[in-house]
Every structure is written in structure tokens, then in C-alpha cells.
Amino acid sequence: MESSRYLKITGGTPLHGSIRIQGSKNAALPVVAAGLLLGQGQTLTCTNVPLLRDTETMAALLRELGMTVTFENGTVTVTRNGELSCEMPAVQVQKMRASSIVLGPLLAQQGRAVMPMPGGCTIGARPIDLHLKGLAKMGAQIELHHGAVYATAEKLRGCRIYLDFPSVGATENLVMAAALAEGETIIENAAREPEITNLVQALQAMGADVVFKKDNQGIIQVNGKPELASGTVKIVPDRIAACTYLLAGAITNGEVTVTDVMPQHFDSLLAKLEEAEVGYLRQEDRVTVYPSRDRMKSLSVKTMPYPGFPTDVQPQLMAALCLAHGTSVVKESIFESRFQHVPELRKMGAEIDIQGNTAVIRGVEALNGSDVQATDLRAGAALALAGLAAEGETRVHGLKHILRGYEDFDKALTSLGAHVSIEEGESIA
């Protein structure tokens, strides 16, 4: 059974080596979804797409809607041939929350979209109210009943939309919907993540009239077109995966190089590594962390929208801080349920107190291997990192969560000298 597979880790070995970073999961999903905006017979080609549970789910979702999708050797092609369905299948949507980004382009293309409420990681409510408010302002009629969103619009119309929060998903949905809307749309307080920039590049490659105003200070201008044409885009490197492997090097006091990266996308982590006195070398397309003579220093961290410290790296950094010298404070300001890894880290000997959305971590001399449960993608990565540094054997259950976001995670760690394998066994959930 899928649920019984776990990651077996024998810790205590400093990691050494180099790893090429996969394409970004969080960029690939909306870019592939943008294929819904194509005119008949047109094709969107996406290169550097990671082979993951989530990217496979998005491909399957588009196929069920009537698109032709191929996925081979890191290249996804999305072609529109024939009519599309307006109803998103629950079996795919409930596998991941990112399914919600299909709503905007499907509505813009078809004039109607039905979406069951999405599933995915249990890291908080993550309501899609900003998505729906924005679409409503563009002229959509939105109804919620029987656990699904029913959206209709004879024709979406451009308008000014101010987002109360720079939501990545809402920005993606609205910029795609605006690409086919009548007239001009201005999205203010838009998300500024590199994944948004990659989506805009994809839309531009397809002929959309979309630009960042004021040097990407959170304002996106879109002049709608009747349809979009064939185009090609390369998915940016996965900054979250890069951070995870750099922290794997730091927590094991090893020397790890991540290659094929854009270091400017994770400046916030590099600043924290420097503050913690972890030595690193930053080059044009690679970063190396070096062993330290002493334990890393404690930190104070607050997650923020980009370019602030990413919530998707908070669990992994917390794992490293469990072994830091002194007391660290981590404040989570994005998701209200993003400390689910804390009870599992405590099983391994971590000393962590939770006070609302703040975690206080007192660094310990050593962690001990244990059976732990991954409740979401990044929590799973954090527990794996803790296991790499722990004494003895760690079993990380809930492997399916990790495989949603990391390509060949076990092989990548093994290539760095880690003692890691995927095993079959009883689930502890």
C-alpha cells in the first residue's frame, strides 16, 4: 500500500557533494495550467518540469478537461484540440490545493467552471476568497454549494483589483483570467514570487499582453486578447528544493553544492545562514555551504511574502535550529497550521515551545532517531533533515507528501552520501 512506504534514514553522516536542482514545482503547476488559455490547435511547451506527484496530477487534471498533455524527459506539452469540459474532476482536484489555479483560465476560456474544493497539505485554511473576489470583480457570478465552486461569466471584463494579501494563488488565477478578458486589468498588491514571474514569461511567450509595472513592485498590467497562441517556456529552478539541500548540508555539518540555481531567489535564506555563521560561497548559478568549526548560531526568523523568508522553508530551517547554539525564535505569519512538524521533532529530542504562531527552539546537543509522521510536504522534508543529523535510525512515514515536491528525494540524498532508502512497512498514522 502507498501509505505504508516510509523513508528510512541512518543519521550522523556529514553530506558531501553536488546536486543539480530540479525545476520548480510551484512554477510548473500554474504554467502548465496556462495551457487552458490556448486557441484551437495551439501548443504550450514547458521545459525543465520536475516529475512529481503534483505535476502528474496537474497533467491528469488537464487531460480530463479535454486538453492533450504529454510528459516526457522533463518536457510537458499542452495542446488544445476540440472542446473542453467545464467541470473539474474531484478525484484530481482533491489531491492538491494547487488545483484551484485552474479555475481562472478555465472560466476565462469557457465562460463556466465548476471546481470541487481542493485538497492537499493540511497547513491551514488557505481559503480561496481572494481568488473568488477578484473573479467576481471581473464580472463572474460565483456560487458555493455542495462543496463546490460554480463560476459563470458570459465574458470577463478587465478592471482594477487590489489584493488584501499578496496571495500567490490568487495572483496566478487572476493574471491568467485577465489574459482573455475584455480590456485592461490592473492587479495591485500582487504576489512577487519568482514563480509569478515565470508564469508571466509563459503568458508572454503565448502572445499575452502582460507586464509588471514599476519594476515588479506588486503591480501587474494585462490587456486581454481573444485567444493565445503556441509558445515555449523554461521552468525556473526550484528555490525551495535548493534551500532544503543547502540546509541538509548545514544540519549535518557537511559541504553541499546546489547547481543550476538562481541564488537571488533565496537571498533570504543566505542572509540567515550568514547570520547563523554558516559558511557559504555564492556564485552565478550555484551555492556551496561549508562545514563549521562550531554549531550554527541561533536565529530569529519571521516568514513573509517574497522577498521575505519563505514559509515553505520554515520547517527545514527549524529542524536545523534544533541543533543550533542558543535559543531561536520562529514566527509563522503565512499559514496558521504550519507547526505540525513540531511534535514529531520533539520525539527526536528537540526542545520546542509553541506560543500561538511563534515557536521557541532551544538548541540541543544531539537529536535521536525515531519513528515520525510527515503531515505535509515541507514538514516531511524537515523530518528527513532532522533524521540525517540524528543519532541512530529515523523512519519518516507519510512519504507520499515528500514525493509531491521533491524529485527522486532518496536518490538525491544518497548521491550526497546519506544513508537513505525507501522501505515498505506499517504506517504509524
pTM of the model: 0.95
Cell digits for 88?
473539474
pLDDT at 227: 95
CATH ID of 2-22+237-424, from 3.10.20.440, 1.20.1730.10, 3.40.50.720, 3.65.10.10: 3.65.10.10
pLDDT value at 161 more than 60: yes
**Which residues pair with residue 9 across a beta bridge?**
394, 420
CB 178 within 8 A of CB 158: yes
CB 80 within 8 A of CB 38: yes
pLDDT at 96: 84
Mean pLDDT of the chain: 94
pLDDT at 159: 98
Cell digits for 49?
518540469
pLDDT value at 154 more than 80: yes
326: left (phi over 0), alpha (psi -120 to 50) or beta: left
Domains 2-22+237-424 and 25-234 share a fold: yes
- Nearest residue to 51 via CA among 27, 15, 75, 78: 75
pLDDT tens string 53-96:
999 999 999 999 999 999 999 999 999 999 999 999 998 888 88
Per-residue pLDDT band at 123 (split at 50, 70, 90): very low
CB 236 within 8 A of CB 398: no
pLDDT at 338: 81
pLDDT at 94: 84
Domain boundaries, the chain: 2-22+237-424, 25-234
The alpha carbons of the chain give a radius of gyration, in whole angstroms, of 21
CA distance 34 to 310: 24
User: What is the side-by-side strand order in the sheet with 141-145?
Assistant: 112-116, 148-152, 141-145
pLDDT value at 43 more than 50: yes
CATH ID of 25-234, from 3.20.20.140, 3.65.10.10, 1.20.210.10, 3.20.20.70: 3.65.10.10
- The three-point CA angle 229-155-158 to 5° equals 80
Q: Which one of 86, 121, 243, 322 is the catalytic residue?
A: 121
pLDDT at 42: 98
pLDDT tens string 165-200:
999 999 999 999 999 999 999 999 999 999 999 999
Q: Measured between alpha carbons, how far apart are the two ends of the chain, in Å?
A: 13
pLDDT tens string 256-306:
999 999 999 999 999 999 999 999 999 999 999 999 999 999 999 999 999
Average pLDDT over residues 335-341: 84
> Is 322 tagged catalytic?
no
